[in-house]
């Protein structure tokens, strides 16, 4: 019995590792955040394995069923739609329960969106804090206030329809002259890394709203 956490490409399908392919070929079944998205990847790789849905809406009540399969001797792989499972994606609850139940867990190295975004931002990468997605409503202001005195480089994930609001609020709390970088469509044909102050980046996207597409990573310099 064993659970593999297998990172999948965040855009370019060629970014999957040889080891990830071997593991996906060898397991008894694959747990996927969205079976349709993962099905496209598996078809591209020529892998035909049973797919089971494991996402934010069923992970609480579905975990015990997965543990039961693992304790019966099954070897399973968990994948998210893109990147490494449990990084702003389902996975944490299952990993925690596996470890409690004595099930072996192994995470493969691979794609994670915030790493290339951080490295190519030009901002310090020796110390950073990963904040994931800010709360939409409750707790949002508290999280922003907690970032005011943060000296490490700040990493956030954001969706296209909330980007302008988040950039505005970051400017309000951290200062509009704070250096930042917005990365979107990483590893894809139309990858963009927009660098500058928060107000410069906000102004650019206010003038070019049609370019706000794809998954987005915001990197913000820490307080000096």
**pTM given for the model:** 0.92
Q: For the chain, how many residues are written?
A: 224
The whole-chain average pLDDT of the chain stands at: 95
Q: Please check whether residues 100 and 119 belong to one and the same domain.
A: no
Q: Please check whether residues 52 and 136 belong to one and the same domain.
A: no
The string of DSSP codes covering 9-35 is -SS-GGGS-HHHHHHHHHSSEEEESSH
CATH code for the domain of 67? 3.40.1010.10
Q: Please check whether residues 118 and 165 belong to one and the same domain.
A: yes
Give me the pLDDT at residue 179, please. Answer: 98
Provide the H-helix boundaries in 54-183: 59-71, 92-100, 114-119, 140-147, 163-174
In total, how many domains does the chain have? 2
Q: Which of residues 107, 131, 156 is at a domain's end? A: 107
Question: Could you read off the pLDDT of 165-185 as tens digits, one per residue?
Answer: 999 999 999 999 999 999 999
Residue 216 has pLDDT above 80, yes or no: yes
Give me the pLDDT at residue 89, please. Answer: 87
Give me the pLDDT at residue 113, please. Answer: 95
Residue 45 has pLDDT above 80, yes or no: yes
Identify the DSSP state of 53: E
Question: Could you read off the pLDDT of 49-105 as tens digits, one per residue?
Answer: 999 999 877 877 789 999 999 999 999 999 999 999 999 888 999 999 999 999 999
């Amino acid at each position: 019995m064993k659970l593999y956490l297998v990172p999948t490409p965040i855009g370019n399908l060629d970014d999957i590792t040889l080891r990830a392919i071997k593991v996906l070929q060898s397991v008894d079944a694959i747990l996927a955040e969205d079976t349709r998205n993962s099905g496209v990847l598996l078809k591209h790789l020529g892998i035909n394995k049973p797919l089971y849905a494991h996402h934010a809406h069923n992970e609480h009540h579905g975990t015990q069923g997965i543990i039961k399969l693992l304790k019966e001797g099954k070897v399973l792989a968990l994948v998210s739609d893109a990147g490494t499972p449990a990084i702003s994606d389902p996975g944490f609850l299952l990993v925690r329960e596996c470890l409690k139940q004595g099930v072996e867990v192994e995470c493969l190295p691979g794609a994670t969106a915030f790493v290339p975004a951080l490295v190519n931002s030009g901002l310090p990468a020796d110390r950073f804090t990963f904040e994931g997605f800010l709360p939409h409503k409750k707790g949002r202001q508290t999280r922003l206030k907690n970032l005011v005195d943060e000296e490490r480089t700040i990493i956030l994930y954001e969706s296209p329809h909330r980007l302008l609001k988040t950039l505005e609020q970051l400017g309000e709390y951290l200062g509009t002259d704070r250096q930042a970088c917005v990365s979107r469509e990483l590893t894809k044909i139309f990858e963009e890394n927009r660098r500058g102050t928060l107000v410069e980046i906000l102004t650019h996207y206010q003038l070019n709203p049609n370019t706000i597409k794809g998954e987005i990573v915001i990197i913000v310099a820490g307080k000096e």
